[in-house]
Every structure is written in structure tokens, then in C-alpha cells.
Copies of this chain bind each other. A is one copy, B any other.
Amino acid sequence: MTHPRRRLRPEQRRAEILDAALEVFAERGYRGASLAAVADKVGLTQQGLLHYFPGKDALLIEVLRRRDEVDSGAYTPSGNGLEMMEKLVTHNATLPGLVQSFTVLSADSVTDNHPAKEFFTERYRRTRETLAESIRREFGEEPPGGLTPEQAAALLVAVMDGLQLQWLLDPGEVDMAAVFHAFAGLLRSASPAAPPAPSSPTDHGYAG
């Protein structure tokens, strides 16, 4: 046995590492995570891992980018903006690990010199824009309750994020899907007269 190690194509290895890294970052946050812990999970040493990624920062950014790509390919609910969000929240309620990673890392990212600060700023900006577009198609320039489409978008994302945090801390007390659904109902009922515009479902790629 000249080559006792596990035979893996480089791309498989990288994917493995990225999955393991997401777990560790979710469990301990960016600063609390160690490369050695990630390496352990895939049966490598820290130095073996560093063959695939130049450093911790780059690993984090790649984890986040890849996750968005994969998720938006694997799960894109159909319907208008509000319906999509509702389905997404219900979907996320079955994936506490994934929810935790984005909840932890997005808040982490507001700290000083955090490597994912730009990533999350841009991601939220894009999400709001796409969602506002969708709201415009659905409700026109005046969505329910005197909100602008941009405000409604920020609000929807805020509700989703805020509920995730409470749900992670206390899953028995907070039913995030139920509350989000009720909130969606509130939005609809406040709507003057929603003209179901011909919608082309947009992938906003929002999974966290």
C-alpha cells in the first residue's frame, strides 16, 4: 500500500471540506472555529486542509458563496414573493443547522474586520432588491400598509431573520413558520386589492 489515504477527486475533497467548515462555523462562530476542527471532520490535518484553501478567511467566504449557489439550485420555491418566503420559512424550519450557520455568521459579520462583512452586506442588498422587484410586480408601487416596496422587502427579511433567532434559542416556544404565515396573512389582508400580476418566479437565493 504505497498510497494508504482516501482517494478523492480534488473537487470532492473541496466540497467535503466546505460542508465540514459550515458546520464548525455554525457551531462556534467564525473566531471560535479552528481549521484543525474542520480538518478533523474530513480526516485531514490542518496542514492538509490548507492545501485546498489559502487560509481561514478564504475558507469562510467560499463556504458562504458555495452554500448560496447550491441552495438556490436545490430549492427554489415557486409563486410570488410572499408565497416563496412562506415556503422558504417552512423549509428552513426543517434545517436548524443551516439556519444556525447563517444566523450566527450574519450577526458575526458586523464585528470589526470580519471577513464576511462585505459578503453579507451585498447579499442583503441583493435580496432586498430582488424582493422589492417581486413586490412591485405583485402589488405595484404601493404595497400594503403604506410601505414602499423596498421597506416591505427589508421588513420581510427582518421578520424571517428575527424569527430564526428566537426559534433557534427556543424551538419549543416559537413556531417560526406559524408566525411568519400569520404575518403574511396580515400583509395580504392589509392589501387594498392585490392584482395577481403575471409573475415570473425570481430566484432570490435567500436561504438563511
Contact = CB atoms under 8 A, between A and B. Distances in A.
A169 B27 contact: no
A185 B107 contact: no
Interface stretch (A2-10, A66-74, A174-182): A174-182
A146 interface: yes
A170 B169 CA distance: 26
A163 interface: yes
Contacts of A155: 159, 163, 179, 182-183
A178 B154 CA distance: 11
Interface stretch (A48-56, A79-87, A108-116, A195-203): A108-116
A100 interface: yes
Contacts of A161: 158, 161-162, 165-166
A194 interface: no
26 contacts: A27-B111, A27-B112, A28-B112, A29-B31, A29-B108, A29-B111, A30-B32, A31-B31, A104-B110, A109-B169, A110-B168, A117-B169, A124-B166, A125-B170, A128-B173, A145-B190, A146-B189, A147-B182, A155-B182, A158-B158, A158-B166, A161-B162, A161-B165, A161-B166, A162-B162, A186-B190
